[in-house]
Amino acid sequence: MIDLFETKEKQTEAIISFSELIKQPGWKLFEAILDENIKFLTDSLVDDNFVDAGDIKATQLMLKAYTNAKNIPQDRIEDFSSTDEGGVPNLDSYESLADFRANLERGRKRHLTPKE
């Protein structure tokens, strides 16, 4: 398998990308779909009468796959955020895109305003 995160720079990029991804409405919808599938499979394991052990194993594997898919962004953020000191660095100097835009606009006004 190709190591997609072999350098610290790629890990930092992944942290930023995954942090933004989990805030997106599309991800939240995808996560809700995964939650429904996870609930259905969990309920099936408790309630359904399976014909053989192969059906149970297939259902367990699907449950694990959905759970892993749902957790990938947060797991990678946690994996790559740890430092030697055990702390979690704040890689984003702005809390949100709105904060970034506000700071950018303040900077523009400061540089465009004539000095007296």
Please name the amino acid found at residue 92. Answer: D
* pTM of this structure: 0.64
Write the Ramachandran bin of 86: left for phi over 0, alpha for psi from -120 to 50, otherwise beta.
Answer: left
What CA–CA distance (Å, rounded) separates 28 from 50?
32
Domain ranges of the chain: 8-81+92-112
Most confident region among 2-16, 28-42, 45-59, 69-83 by mean pLDDT: 28-42
Consecutive H or E run containing 87 = none
pLDDT at 109 over 70: no
Q: Which pLDDT does position 115 carry in this prediction? A: 47
Beta-strand ranges (E) seen in 53-99 are none
